[in-house]
Amino acid sequence: MKNVYTIAMLYLLISTSLLSSQNLAVYVSDAANFNSGPYQIAKFDASGNYEGALIRVEDGLVWPQDIIFLDSEEAVLISNLSAAGIISKHNWSNGDLIENFAEGLGGPTRMKIGPDGLLYVLQWSNTINKVLRYNLNGTFVDEFTSVGVSQSIGIDWDSNGDLYVSSYGGNSIRKFDGTTGDDLGLFISSGLQGPTNIWFEADGNLIVFNYNSGIVKRFDATGTLLADLITGVNGCEGFAFFPNGDLLMGVGSDGSIRRYDSNFNFIENFVDPGILLTPNAIVIRDDIPLSVPEKKISHIFVTPTIGNRFLINSLAVQSFETLEVYNNSGTLVDTIVLSDSTEWDASKNAEGIYFIVARQGTDRATQKIIVKKK
């Protein structure tokens, strides 16, 4: 198993080095208002500019949880924490539903391709909650683990190939034999508050996101707490790394995606509050141009982009009834009724970054503006 794991890690390193030489895109699962939407798999460029939604509710999203790209098929898998328990399969450039990859799962959450090349799937709501395995063609393989993990939502393997799974409701991390799936007991049984994502660092330490306390913790290879690395990130879920080692993290408390360096020092808001509601999974990969012009909403609603009085685009008036204005903290500060307005007077608002949000059914688009008083 260790040799298989080493091969998988080498493949990951090679893939990462290839990514560094290409145009990157960032794909984000937005769980929105949890069981009531509106859901999207959003796409951003490498600078954090919103490019539109790849997949929406009409494409089959129901409380999306994770994203897996299948390059050989030019497809993407989305786990949906729905009553039907579906992993849906979509065209990776326009989001159209191809088929249901799997059905009848107990609220599938995190998915990850393991060292054996199989897709491992965690379950949130099944009374058994065992980790499931699938071939990448959708064929069910087995219930891999000997016991279940309640509200499981984080998964990774250590350097020996053993499997670890986090339990959000159980506030614990459970360890399994990576070859047989046999239960090896609780690896961490205290000090966690709603653990979501987990991953092992190169030196064998384990990183754990704590959704409820807003703390990112580091544990050593024995499960002993070493440090609180990041605090104040309530609702932390979803992560990905840029080729230079910078970390992106979803923060559900304000809908932002935050960027940190490899030492967990905050750099910036990669995505400011106001565009996403509950980012819970992130993938950074080579860019796949969206081919959904019929679905995309123009996101130039007002002009100019800097000032304190903004003229409303006539196309916005024709397409929408209202525009919502949010400040940089994600607070709704104004609603523009387009039948009554041809401009938005921002002179009463503080200077800073704002977001104009338009909704059309389940679609949503956002324009970033800056209020600056003369």
| CA proximity to 141, closest of 174, 160, 116, 171 | 116
pLDDT per position as a tens digit, 145-164 = 999 999 999 999 999 999 99
- Cα-flanking dihedrals φ and ψ of residue 34, to 5°? 60, -105
Position 221 scores a pLDDT of 96
pLDDT tens figures, 194-247: 999 999 999 999 999 999 999 999 999 999 999 999 999 999 999 999 999 999
Q: Where are the domains of the chain?
A: 2-286, 302-371
Which residues, other chains included, contact 298 with Cβ-Cβ below 8 Å and sequence gap of 6+? 313, 315, 316, 319, 365
CATH number of 302-371: 2.60.40.3080
How high is the pLDDT of residue 306?
84
Q: What local confidence, expressed as pLDDT, does residue 13 receive?
A: 46
pLDDT of 369 reads: 85
CA distance 97 to 178: 33
Q: What are phi and psi of 6, to 5 degrees?
A: -60, -40
Question: SS3 for 290-306, per residue?
Answer: CCCCCCCCCCCCEECCE
Q: What string of pLDDT tens digits covers the 374 residues of the chain?
A: 444 444 444 444 444 444 444 599 999 999 999 988 889 999 999 999 888 889 988 888 999 999 999 999 999 999 999 889 999 999 999 999 999 999 999 999 999 999 999 999 999 987 889 999 999 999 999 999 999 999 999 999 999 999 999 999 999 999 999 999 999 999 999 999 999 999 999 999 999 999 999 999 999 999 999 999 999 999 999 999 999 999 999 999 999 999 999 999 999 999 999 889 999 999 999 999 877 444 444 557 888 878 888 998 877 777 788 888 988 666 788 999 888 888 899 989 998 888 888 866 555 677 878 888 86
**Residue 267 and residue 240 in contact, taking contact as beta carbons nearer than 8 Å:** no
Residue 22: what pLDDT? 58
Please state which of the four CATH numbers 3.40.50.2000, 3.50.50.60, 3.30.230.70, 2.120.10.30 is assigned to the domain occupying 2-286: 2.120.10.30
Residue 217 burial (CB count, 10 A): 23
Nearest to 214 by CA among 192, 242, 199, 247: 192
Contacts of residue 211, Cβ cutoff 8 Å, sequence gap at least 6: 168, 193, 194, 195, 196, 234, 235, 236, 237, 252
Residue with tokens 């959003």: 42
Q: Note the pTM of the prediction, 2 decimals.
A: 0.76
**In sequence order, what are the residues at sequence separation of 6 or more whose Cβ sits closer than 8 angstroms to the Cβ of residue 314?**
none
pLDDT attached to residue 51: 85
pLDDT of 215: 98
What rounded mean pLDDT belongs to the chain? 89
Which of 183, 181, 151 has the alpha carbon at shortest distance from 167?
151
Question: Structure tokens of 65?
Answer: 């949880």
